[in-house]
Every structure is written in C-alpha cells, then in structure tokens.
Structure 1
C-alpha cells in the first residue's frame, strides 16, 4: 500500500464506535467523525485489497450530494474542516479530505432503496416472481432494463458479512410505523428522481441507490 491508501484509520484521541464495511466512526460527544477508508465492499463482504484515495472520492461525492439535496430533506452533514471542528491533532492529518463531522442520529433499522433499472438482487427476485418487494412489474423485462418508473424497495440492515434482505413496504411499515414509512418512501423517490435527472443531463445513469434515515 502507498501513502495515499488507508485501510483502517487510527485516531487515538477519540473513541472508535464502529468499523463498517467502508467507513470508521468515532465519537465526538455531540457529533460523530465519519472516516471513509479505501476498503472495498462487494456483495456485503470486505475485500482485502483497497483502492488508493477511494475514501476521498466517496467523501467529496457525499458532501456534494448532501449540499445538492438539502432543500429536499435535512441531512446530518456538518463540516469537513477537521481542524475547526475537532482539533489540530497529528492523527487527523491522514484523514483530511476523507472524513466529515456529522450530527448524531438514531438510524432506523431499514434501508431505503430506490431502483430505476432492473439489476442486482431486484433482477434475481423479478425472475422468480415478476415482482420486486411485492411491486408487480411488466413481464418480459431483461436484466438492466430501465423500469417504467422508479420503485421503492426497502431492505433490512444485515450485520456485517450477511446479506441485506429486500422486504415489502408493509413489512417496513410494521418496523418503523406507517406514517414514517410513507414519508421515507416519498422523500426517497423525490431524491432519486431529482438526482437521476441531474446526472442524466451530464451523461450519467443512476441505476439505483440507497438512503438511510434517522
């Protein structure tokens, strides 16, 4: 690994709360420090070989989209200025550009997935049932076909090393409450539609994405 590659972060001055598949999370008392490492997660498994500067790219992309969508829904992003928000510690120097300070929140135990194209686990489910998360789809679709319109397909949050499970909307409503589930679905679809349109104007396709709420 070269100097621009970070597999695991180390900040001795802070309490490490969790190491996710890609990100490390530290406690800042009234906030959190989220560090995007260069780890690669594929099919819910962390691979042994990182990609140099991947975490920096992820962090700047995240900040960009948080700013782009803050008029639709509030988000937890506060700043990427670590010296201002945290301190002038030597341990923070390797984290510049790949870490952000965020507001604390209690994450809901579901993932808000929106799909515009038929791929991945949705394609597998469609081949078996002609539906995805209980949403009927036209027959005869092929893998990676564009869907007639974006669909909301929630999933459970599986522990690291296990696969997330697609669930019907009614099951999500049973977990987080009907009103909250409907609000999450409405906001998620709007976020996806606006982001997909913005990307399409620049020659990019957003096939699907995942949001998390708290």
Structure 2
C-alpha cells in the first residue's frame, strides 16, 4: 500500500490489506546479522494497524476513521485478559532489543512484537453454526470434515466448539480450508495438537468474558508462531477483534425475529452487505466508494464492541 507513513528509525518492509510492518532501520544496516529477509533478521517488528477496510479481497475507499486504534486497543485488552497464554508482545524498555521510539502519530495503533517462526495455519474456532460453516453444513452435514447432528439451523450453538483450520496460502493465493489431519501433516502431530488445544481453550475463556458482557462470541480465528529462542507455541497477530471474530448481541440473539436481527455482528458486515447489493465483484472492476453512512455505521459497530467489552463495571 502506498499510504504507509515514514517513521524515524524504522523501515517499512511490508503492507497487507489493512496493516503495515516496520523493522528497526539498524537491523537493515547490520551486515553481521543480515539474512536478506528483514522479518527474519530483526528480533522485533512494529505492526501498525491502518484505518483501511477490505472486503472480498479488495481494499475499499474511504477508510473507517479510528478503526486501527480501536482494533489495537481491543487486542491489547485481550492479551491482558490472557496473561498465562504466551504472546508475541515485545517491550521497548527491554535493553536487549534496542528499538527506536515509537512515534506518537502511530502509537495508538502500533504494536511492538517479537518476530516468530509463524505456522502457516489459520486456527478457526466455531462455537455457533453460521457463515461459511452454515453453507458447508447444508451441503455436507459437516464442517471441516467433522460430522454434525442433523436438523441444525443457521445460528444454532454447536454441541461443542469446533477447530476448523485453514492453510495460509502464499501471498496472492486464497487460503484453503483443511482437515485436522492435513494440519498435522503440515506442522507435525505435536504442534497440531497444541494449536487445537490452545485455540479451543482461548475461545472458551473469551466466550465466558463476552457472555458476562451480554455478547456472544460466535467464531474467531487465531494465529500462532514458535518463539525463536524457546520453540514455545506463541499467540500472535490481532486477537479476538472485530476483524478476526464474529460477535453478536445476546439479547438480540434471543429476541430477534429474523436471522439478520438475531445475528447482526459487530464488524464490517454492514460493508459486505452494501457491496453485495451494489457491486458485482468483477475482478476488473474497481469497487464503488463506500457511502458516508455505511462508513459511519461500521465505525459505530467497532466502537460499540470495544466499549462493551472493555467497560469496567
């Protein structure tokens, strides 16, 4: 992306659809440690969440004001709720890292992280049947190859949380849903078991936190990597945010007359729905500009989730 800002002491090395990555410029200049890959050479990476919004594999205009800061704040909050789960956070006061200052202009949406050996697995956990899982169940009676009882409806709670992983394809390709057995072939039996156990454990703990705040955590996705010094499986990336998780309002879920009312999510579904009604998603056709009211409604949903989860009381 061409809107990544220049940060003193940091070198921009990559931009995804919605985030920009930087490493300390000193790591790029160290001939003794340089490997040719900035993310392997540097012990830390600065992850800056932008306000960009994507849907259907396209970055849209305009951005959602405040989105990057809200997602970063929520990820930080969730890490605080999971103090016993190893995570990728690094701290500038650690003298071993010798990182430059994080500029004030990105401080509210930047996360200083240790670089890990990332596993190419997206760890999806589903507590309720909806979205792509609902479509798969209708076609096969299963999700991720896991057979489910007959007669389930869209939005039903599953008998138990399901671990339904996906293989993270190389840049430019689409991720691919895979079985647990295929996951074990990719990362090994021991790591696959750890990924499944950790993912379900974190999901169940987060679900209880959400429930206490009148929210339902329907599904989520995690990413993990191995600590480069210890090999410990470590939670990485954004965690339990509006962009990685599907939350519903518990009261609306119980009282809503239609699926749309019962399962209105606190994320960019408003954007997806508007695009689906106003764009044919042709690969050669640029997506339309989002109307102001769609941008404002989406920002409001992000903000409401953050406030409801993190409010004291």
What TM-score comes out, normalization by structure 2 length?
Answer: 0.61
Displacement of 1:12: 5.6
Q: Does residue 170 of the first structure (1) align with residue 181 of the second (2)?
A: yes
1:24 to 9, 20, 23: 20
Match of 1:4 in 2: none
Mapping of residues 62-73 of structure 1, within 5 Å: 62-71=75-84, 73=85
SS of the residue corresponding to residue 64 of structure 1 reads helix
Match of 1:95 in 2: 106
What TM-score comes out, normalization by structure 1 length?
Answer: 0.87
CA pair 17-100 structure 1, distance change in 2 beyond 3 A: same
CA pair 161-204 structure 1, distance change in 2 beyond 3 A: farther
Mapping of residues 201-212 of structure 1, within 5 Å: 201-212=212-223
Mapping of residues 1-214 of structure 1, within 5 Å: 8-11=4-7, 13-28=9-24, 29-71=42-84, 73-79=85-91, 86-88=99-101, 92-159=103-170, 162-214=173-225
SS of the residue corresponding to residue 175 of structure 1 reads helix
Cα distance in 1 for partners of 2:113, 2:4 equals 20
Cα distance in 1 for partners of 2:199, 2:104 equals 35
Structure showing the higher helix proportion among its residues = 2
Check the 8 A contact 1:119/1:143 in 2, yes or no: yes
Runs (5+) with no aligned partner, structure 1: 1-6
Cα distance in 2 for partners of 1:121, 1:43 equals 14
Cα distance in 1 for partners of 2:106, 2:165 equals 32
Displacement of 1:49: 2.1
Match of 2:245 in 1: none
Greater Rg over alpha carbons, structure: 2
Cα distance in 2 for partners of 1:144, 1:9 equals 41
Check the 8 A contact 1:125/1:131 in 2, yes or no: yes
SS of the residue corresponding to residue 48 of structure 2 reads strand
Runs (5+) with no aligned partner, structure 2: 25-41, 226-313
Cα distance in 1 for partners of 2:209, 2:80 equals 14
Moved over 4 A (4+): 159-162
Displacement of 1:15: 2.2
Check the 8 A contact 1:115/1:152 in 2, yes or no: yes
State the Cα RMSD in Å: 2.2
Q: What is the number of equivalent residue pairs in this alignment?
A: 204
Check the 8 A contact 2:44/2:90 in 1, yes or no: no
Cα distance in 2 for partners of 1:80, 1:41 equals 31
